[in-house]
Amino acid sequence: MGRRKLVVGNWKMNGLRAQLGEVEAIGGLARDHAAVEVGLCLPATLIAAADGVKGGAFIGAQDCHMKANGAHTGCLSAVMLAEAGASWTIVGHSERRQDQGETDADIAAKALAAKAAGLKVILCVGESLDVRDAGNAEAVVSAQLLASLPEGAASDWLAIAYEPIWAIGTGRIPTMEAVATMHAALRAALASRIGADADAMRILYGGSMNGDNAAELLAIADVDGGLIGGASLTAEKFAPVIAAAA
């Protein structure tokens, strides 16, 4: 199998320059655990400053626009984010899908724009509690993945993050069996589209992963890392997750 674990913090709308010391400390953790690929997707206001203190971690953005420039007030292109120092970006996070009404087609276009700008991409998918309770989670999320997958999707620039929407920030997570079943279903969906390269594509788990449950989640066969929210805001909380991945 041989997929290198990928552990990425998503700071969401958190972080001021006063928190750059945490970025530097997390960069040090990344240097100490070089077997794991570690990154921080920060508010755009911190990307350039963080690039200078990132140590062994990469710096990413939390979103990008699908156009390289133009009349899109308040938006940031992937080209701008790359110039600021980002090397990755998240697209399709459930908070963007829900709060900004982003469609699967929007997300596929954003992923392609990011690739064109030289960024690697974490593409997020996940189900609501209603879908989970109805027993349709694997089918719904697999369909969402295939509809969001950009042309030319490949493991050298794209990773997938499965985030059950109802688990984000709640402390509640699916059973380990449910996580394993979903990740296997997503791997199979990828194989139907991209063939053998699906085995190399990293599929991350997101949704209340923390130092207490990371080791168990990361031991699941098709879980290749984590997209971490609140537990990535400080080096102290992030350290046990990185150590578990190592």
What domains can you pick out in the chain, each with its CATH number? 6-245 (3.20.20.70)
Residue 230, annotated ligand binder?
Answer: yes
Residue 15, annotated ligand binder?
Answer: no
Say whether pLDDT at 233 is over 60: yes
CB atoms inside a 10 Å sphere around CB 106: 18
Q: Looking at residues 48-64, what average pLDDT do you find?
A: 97
Phi-psi region of 164 (alpha: psi -120 to 50; beta: other; left: phi over 0): beta
Q: Which of 22, 93, 127, 183 is catalytic?
A: 93
Residue 179, pLDDT score: 97
Q: Which of 22, 102, 163, 183 is catalytic?
A: 163
Residue 10, annotated ligand binder?
Answer: yes
CA distance 207 to 199: 23
Q: Looking at residues 148-156, what average pLDDT do you find?
A: 98
164 HSE (CA, 13 A, CB side): 25
Instruction: Provide the 8-state DSSP code for 121.
Output: E
Instruction: Provide the 3-class DSSP secondary structure of residue 134.
Output: coil
Tell me the percentage of the chain whose pLDDT exceeds 90: 95
CB atoms inside a 10 Å sphere around CB 44: 15
Q: Is 93 a catalytic residue?
A: yes
Main-chain dihedrals φ then ψ at residue 71, nearest 5 degrees: -85, 75
CA distance 162 to 166: 12
Residue 229, annotated ligand binder?
Answer: yes
Say whether pLDDT at 1 is over 70: no
* Encoded amino acid at 121, one letter: V
Q: Is the pTM of this model over 0.85?
A: yes
Angle 141-75-55 from CA coordinates, rounded to 5°: 80
Q: Looking at residues 65-73, what average pLDDT do you find?
A: 98
- pLDDT band of residue 169 (cuts 50, 70, 90) is confident
CA distance 122 to 212: 24
pLDDT: which is higher, 79 or 166: 79
Write down the mean pLDDT value for the chain: 97
CA distance 238 to 178: 24
pLDDT tens by residue, 123-137: 999 999 999 999 999
Residue 11, annotated ligand binder?
Answer: yes
Type and span of the H or E element at 232: none
